[in-house]
């Protein structure tokens, strides 16, 4: 008889299910007793926050889709119908609309944390690659979602962004026609974007599952960037990190609620309150804030094809980041020079974001070129070279030794805390 | 203690990311009036009397050219009209009521469930009747312009003689606030354009304020309910944050 699971659960119903399909044992193993480094700071909340955010987006999105019409004649009015006539429709819509911004905020912080603490390094390269795939899927989903209300910025944003593909020689115009389903952004475009906007989040769920599965094979990185060596270095995920994540979720929900209830259109564009009109081009076509840095990279060079390549390259470079960074030390805490350069990367991205919001004139051209230069310099030159030149600070012997000092591990046995560490 | 500081860092990053939005601005910086609006503060509601006067201004002046196609007469309960008043107000407007049994279009007095009467059957007719300029639908106008209520107030009060040396094209009017300063809409409101039934002085500023209040409500009819729910939600979440933080401290007490 091939492998019935021997379940330890006392409850007979749970035991019966668990014997046949050990999901309860799996949850217990992966989220109950799962050994987690004991030294996480609050930056380690953001993965859980992103997960919560995705669930919120799917939940609100399903109900919005029940009332939305993917038709160029009706789309804009159907959104107003949701806002005015559907019970709590305004709440669903504002949560979904601001949820997109919140999703990018928590994801960008999550990525920045990974960059600072070297979470992409061996053995977590594949975990990181899944993460970059998630980012790309999120961007595609958000872009198509923004088209659905069929406002002026929806329409013209869709026109500008899809047209980027036409820069590629020969195949470019064919791709654009395929995306549009015709020869301009029109009914077929809106219909397929709606279909894909509903599909991609579930693809996202699948890739996130792989992301988390890979995480649970390698185990989490931690602020010290050193490997877990003994049980003293870890705490069971529950209750320690379930409660710590709960604190983060509450704070995140406060920020989310303030946006939704008191400034629901703060991050939006007034032009999207005007129905799409193919005959009237808005004075400024600006993407949503979370795309501004990439938009600035696109416009930083006068050549369209090069701009498009740089823009896609700015994401694609992240795929090979684990092999660009040659330093054996993960956490920036022990990399005195990398630690100085890291804020420059953040600043360059923020400056690029500001450049993306302005017309490419005067100082903004110079700044966007500087920002673009530094972004690529950081990944393509600095990280490979720095790993060879930089002298890392001495690493602590173990997580428990660094966190608990001489006090030992509380109720846990403290004998094995002083094993010598191997370099990661 | 490291953790709260890290969290603050995260919030700062959020603010930095949000920064560029406010930096988004028009090419030419036209100073907008900076009126005080009760609905702009975090907890502020609508001055219902003002919104009702604004509806009067809209109906008697703006509605001659501008539609508000996303509003129904029943929505007027949001500015404090009761069911009887709404029925009476709606009945004063003649709107299309579909087809009769012979298949002919019929018109009649509007019902509370009717949409606001549109002055023109379609955009082309509206454009043709207005010197080639389409009067925009006003349902969302306050949200659809940079500067919101101050912009709309600015346009309504921004008419005047062009400064020396500025030529205004045939069929357009000088306006301080309108982009390009040449607007095809003749000055819609002047002192005394509308006579208020409640005795409020009908100055230009007062009428403009009233109609902007009405239009802000029309664009954001859920605002009062939204803010009230927001207060409850945020208070609840602050309480939950405190509670989970205390529990977290207790759970972690033996782990540090």
For the stretch A319-351, pLDDT in tens is 999 999 999 999 999 999 999 999 999 999 999
B17/A403 touch (CB, cutoff 8 Å), yes or no: no
Which pairing describes strands A234-236 and A35-37: parallel, antiparallel, or unpaired? antiparallel
Sign of CA dihedral A233, A236, A237, A238: negative
Sole residue written with tokens 């990439």:
A294
Tell me the per-residue pLDDT of B172-226, one tens digit each, with 9 for 90 and over.
Answer: 999 999 999 999 999 999 999 999 999 999 999 999 999 999 999 999 999 999 9
What does the pLDDT average to over A356-365?
Answer: 92
Phi, psi of B109 (to 5 degrees): -65, 140
* CA–CA distance, B23 with B12 (Å, rounded to integer): 17
Is B243 contained in some domain?
Answer: yes
Is B89 contained in some domain?
Answer: no
In angstroms, how far is CA B240 from the centroid of its own chain?
Answer: 35
Query: C-alpha angle A347/A157/B222, rounded to 5°?
Result: 90
* CA–CA distance, A351 with A356 (Å, rounded to integer): 9
Instruction: Measure A227 CA to nearest chain B CA, in Å.
Output: 19
* CA–CA distance, A237 with A17 (Å, rounded to integer): 24
B229/A261 touch (CB, cutoff 8 Å), yes or no: yes
Identify the band that residue A403 occupies on the pLDDT scale cut at 50, 70 and 90. confident
B234/A112 touch (CB, cutoff 8 Å), yes or no: no
Buried (b) or exposed (e) across A37-56, using 16+ Cβ within 10 A?
bbbbbbbbbbbbbbbbbbeb
Whole-model pTM: value is 0.91
Same-domain pairing of B233 and B180: no
Sole residue written with tokens 């509380």:
A410
| Interface contacts A/B by beta carbons within 8 Å | 142
* pLDDT for A406: 55
Let me know: does A148 contact A190? Beta carbons within 8 Å.
yes
Which one, of A58, A84, A123, lies nearest residue A328 by Cα?
A: A123
Same-domain pairing of B120 and B165: yes
Q: Which of A152-156, A288-292, B164-168 is predicted with the least confidence, judged by mean pLDDT? A: B164-168
Distance spanning both ends of chain B, measured CA to CA: 12
Same-domain pairing of B181 and B240: no
For residue A13, is the peptide bond before it cis, meaning its omega torsion is within 30 degrees of 0? no
**Catalytic (active-site) positions of A:** 216, 220, 244-245, 288
Same-domain pairing of B256 and B140: no
Identify the band that residue A412 occupies on the pLDDT scale cut at 50, 70 and 90. very low
Residue of B nearest to A246 (CA): B244
Instruction: Measure B63 CA to nearest chain A CA, in Å.
Output: 19
pLDDT of A413 strictly over 90: no
* pLDDT for B10: 43
Average pLDDT value over all residues in chain A: 94
Average pLDDT value over all residues in chain B: 90
Same-domain pairing of B252 and B206: no
Let me know: does A262 contact B227? Beta carbons within 8 Å.
yes
pLDDT of A353 strictly over 70: yes
Sole residue written with tokens 């806002």:
A83
Same-domain pairing of B131 and B254: no
Tell me the per-residue pLDDT of A302-326, one tens digit each, with 9 for 90 and over.
Answer: 999 999 999 999 999 999 999 999 9
pLDDT of B33 strictly over 60: yes
Q: Does residue A258 belong to the interface with chain B, where contact is any CB pair within 8 Å? A: yes
Burial of A295 (0-12, 13-18, 19+ CB in 10 A): buried
Q: Which of A18-32, A275-289, B21-35 is predicted with the least confidence, judged by mean pLDDT? A: B21-35
B230/A84 touch (CB, cutoff 8 Å), yes or no: no
* CA–CA distance, A293 with A288 (Å, rounded to integer): 10
Identify the band that residue B15 occupies on the pLDDT scale cut at 50, 70 and 90. very low
What does the pLDDT average to over A15-36?
Answer: 95
* CA–CA distance, A309 with A165 (Å, rounded to integer): 10
Sole residue written with tokens 């804030």:
A289
Chain B residues lying within 8 Å of A38, measured CB to CB:
255
* pLDDT for A40: 96
Q: Which of A257, A274, A403 sits opposite B230 (nearest CB)?
A: A257
Q: Which of A253, A271, A354 sits opposite B20 (nearest CB)?
A: A354
* pLDDT for B53: 97
Let me know: does B237 contact A259? Beta carbons within 8 Å.
no
The strand ranges marked E within B154-233 are 173-174, 182-183
Phi, psi of B106 (to 5 degrees): -120, 155
Same-domain pairing of B166 and B52: yes
Q: Which residues pair with A235 in a beta bridge?
A: A36
Same-domain pairing of B138 and B181: yes
DSSP state, residue A324: H
Is B161 contained in some domain?
Answer: yes
Question: Can you give the residue range of the structural domain that contains B243?
Answer: 223-256
Tell me the DSSP string of A385-414: HHHHH--PPPPPS-HHHHHHGGG--TTS--
Residues contacting residue A105 through CB under 8 Å, at least 6 positions apart = B13, B14, B17
Q: Which residues pair with A234 in a beta bridge?
A: A37
Dihedral, A166, A169, A171, A174 alpha carbons, nearest 10: 30
A411/B254 touch (CB, cutoff 8 Å), yes or no: yes
Same-domain pairing of B154 and B239: no
Tell me the per-residue pLDDT of A120-132, one tens digit each, with 9 for 90 and over.
Answer: 999 999 999 999 9
B230/A262 touch (CB, cutoff 8 Å), yes or no: yes
* CA–CA distance, A365 with B119 (Å, rounded to integer): 47
* CA–CA distance, A175 with A251 (Å, rounded to integer): 43
Sign of CA dihedral B62, B64, B67, B68: positive
Let me know: does B97 contact B88? Beta carbons within 8 Å.
no
* CA–CA distance, B232 with B223 (Å, rounded to integer): 14
Residues contacting residue A28 through CB under 8 Å, at least 6 positions apart = none
* pLDDT for A3: 83
Same-domain pairing of B130 and B240: no
**Maximum pairwise Cα distance, chain A:** 76
* CA–CA distance, A96 with A261 (Å, rounded to integer): 12
Q: What is the CATH number of the domain that holds B66?
A: 1.10.760.10
* CA–CA distance, A264 with A262 (Å, rounded to integer): 6
Is B125 contained in some domain?
Answer: yes
Is B11 contained in some domain?
Answer: no
A41/B6 touch (CB, cutoff 8 Å), yes or no: yes
Instruction: Measure B197 CA to nearest chain A CA, in Å.
Output: 29
Which one, of A218, A18, A189, A25, lies nearest residue A122 by Cα?
A: A218
Same-domain pairing of B181 and B249: no
For residue A300, is the peptide bond before it cis, meaning its omega torsion is within 30 degrees of 0? no
Identify the band that residue B5 occupies on the pLDDT scale cut at 50, 70 and 90. very low
* Share of residues in chain A with pLDDT > 70 (%): 95
Tell me the per-residue pLDDT of B62-91, one tens digit each, with 9 for 90 and over.
Answer: 999 999 999 999 999 999 999 999 999 999
pLDDT of A367 strictly over 70: yes
A356/B254 touch (CB, cutoff 8 Å), yes or no: no
Phi, psi of A353 (to 5 degrees): -60, -40
Is B4 contained in some domain?
Answer: no
Q: Does residue A239 belong to the interface with chain B, where contact is any CB pair within 8 Å? A: yes
Is B109 contained in some domain?
Answer: no
**Maximum pairwise Cα distance, chain B:** 84
Q: Which of A21-30, A97-106, A165-174, B28-37 is predicted with the least confidence, judged by mean pLDDT? A: B28-37
Q: Does residue A273 belong to the interface with chain B, where contact is any CB pair within 8 Å? A: yes
Sole residue written with tokens 């030992």:
A408
Count Cα atoms within 13 angstroms, Cβ side, for B249: 7
Report CA-CA distances (Å) from A61 to A47, A143, A166: 21, 15, 31
Chain A residues lying within 8 Å of B224, measured CB to CB:
none
Structure tokens, B42: 């975090």
Q: Which of A251, A273, A284 sits opposite B241 (nearest CB)?
A: A251
Sign of CA dihedral B246, B251, B254, B255: negative
Q: Total structural domains in chain B? A: 2
B144/A271 touch (CB, cutoff 8 Å), yes or no: yes
Structure tokens, A283: 């004075």
Chain B residues lying within 8 Å of A84, measured CB to CB:
70-71, 75, 221-222
Same-domain pairing of B196 and B251: no
Residue of A nearest to B5 (CA): A42
B229/A108 touch (CB, cutoff 8 Å), yes or no: no
Chain B residues lying within 8 Å of A403, measured CB to CB:
256
Is B14 contained in some domain?
Answer: no
* CA–CA distance, B68 with A32 (Å, rounded to integer): 56
* pLDDT for B28: 64
* CA–CA distance, A386 with A394 (Å, rounded to integer): 17
Let me know: does B56 contact B23? Beta carbons within 8 Å.
no
Instruction: Measure A315 CA to nearest chain B CA, in Å.
Output: 18
Chain A residues lying within 8 Å of B256, measured CB to CB:
403-404, 410
């Amino acid at each position: 008889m091939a492998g019935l699971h021997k379940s330890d659960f006392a409850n007979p119903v749970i035991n019966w299910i668990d014997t046949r399909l050990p999901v309860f044992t799996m949850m217990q193993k992966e989220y109950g007793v799962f050994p987690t480094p004991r030294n996480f700071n609050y930056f380690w909340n953001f993965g859980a926050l992103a997960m919560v955010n995705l669930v919120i987006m799917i939940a609100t999105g399903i109900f919005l889709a029940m009332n939305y019409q993917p038709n160029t004649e009706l789309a804009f009015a159907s959104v107003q119908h949701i806002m005015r006539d559907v019970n709590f429709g305004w709440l669903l819509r504002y949560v979904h609309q601001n949820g997109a911004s919140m999703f990018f905020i928590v994801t960008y912080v999550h990525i920045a944390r990974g960059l600072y603490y070297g979470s992409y390094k061996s053995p977590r390269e594949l975990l990181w690659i899944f993460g970059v795939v998630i980012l790309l899927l999120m961007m595609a989903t958000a872009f198509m979602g923004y088209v659905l209300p069929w406002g002026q910025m929806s329409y013209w944003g869709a026109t500008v962004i899809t047209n980027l593909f036409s820069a590629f020689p020969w195949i470019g115009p064919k791709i654009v026609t395929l995306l549009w389903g015709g020869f301009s952004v029109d009914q077929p475009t809106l219909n397929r974007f709606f279909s894909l906007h509903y599909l991609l989040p579930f693809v996202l769920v699948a890739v996130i599952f792989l992301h988390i599965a890979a995480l649970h094979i390698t185990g989490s990185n931690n602020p010290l960037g050193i490997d877990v060596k003994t049980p003293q270095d870890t705490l069971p995920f529950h209750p320690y990190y379930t409660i710590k994540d709960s604190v983060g979720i509450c704070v995140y929900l406060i920020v989310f609620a303030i946006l939704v209830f008191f400034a629901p259109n703060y991050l939006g564009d007034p032009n999207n309150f005007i129905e799409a009109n193919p005959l009237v081009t808005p004075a400024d076509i600006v993407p949503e804030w979370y795309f501004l840095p990439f938009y600035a990279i696109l416009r930083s060079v006068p050549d369209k094809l090069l701009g498009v390549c740089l823009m896609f390259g700015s994401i694609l470079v992240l795929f090979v980041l684990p092999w660009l960074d040659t330093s054996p030390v993960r956490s920036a805490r022990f990399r005195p020079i990398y630690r100085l350069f890291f804020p420059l990367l953040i600043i360059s991205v923020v400056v690029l974001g500001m450049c993306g919001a302005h017309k490419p004139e005067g100082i903004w051209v110079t700044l966007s070129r500087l920002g673009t230069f530094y972004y690529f310099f950081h990944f393509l030159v600095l990280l490979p070279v720095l790993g060879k030149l930089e002298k890392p600070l001495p690493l602590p012997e173990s997580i428990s030794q660094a966190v608990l000092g001489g006090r030992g591990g509380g109720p846990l046995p403290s004998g094995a805390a002083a094993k010598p560490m191997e370099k990661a | 203690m490291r953790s709260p500081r890290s969290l603050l860092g995260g919030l700062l990053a959020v603010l930095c990311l949000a920064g560029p939005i406010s930096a988004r601005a028009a090419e030419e910086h036209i100073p907008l009036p900076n009126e005080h609006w009760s609905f702009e503060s975090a907890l502020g509601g609508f001055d219902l009397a003002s919104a009702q006067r604004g509806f009067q201004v809209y109906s008697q002046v703006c509605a001659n050219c501008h539609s508000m196609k996303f509003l129904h007469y029943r929505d007027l309960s949001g500015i404090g009209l009761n069911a009887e008043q709404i029925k009476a107000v709606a009945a004063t407007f003649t709107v299309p009521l579909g087809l009769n049994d012979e298949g002919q279009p019929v018109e009649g007095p509007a019902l509370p469930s009717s949409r606001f009467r549109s002055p023109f059957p379609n955009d082309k007719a509206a454009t043709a009747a207005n010197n080639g300029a389409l009067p925009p639908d006003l349902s969302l106008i306050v949200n659809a312009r940079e500067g919101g209520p101050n912009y709309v107030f600015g346009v309504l009060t921004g008419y005047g003689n062009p400064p020396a040396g500025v030529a205004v094209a045939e069929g357009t009017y000088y306006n301080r606030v309108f982009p390009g300063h040449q607007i095809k809409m003749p000055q819609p409101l002047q002192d005394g354009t509308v006579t208020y039934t409640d005795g409020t002085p009908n100055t230009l500023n007062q009428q403009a304020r009233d109609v902007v209040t009405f239009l802000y409500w029309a664009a954001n009819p859920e605002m009062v309910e939204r803010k009230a729910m927001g207060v409850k939600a945020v208070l609840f979440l602050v309480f939950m944050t405190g509670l989970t933080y205390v529990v977290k401290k207790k759970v972690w007490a033996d782990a540090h």
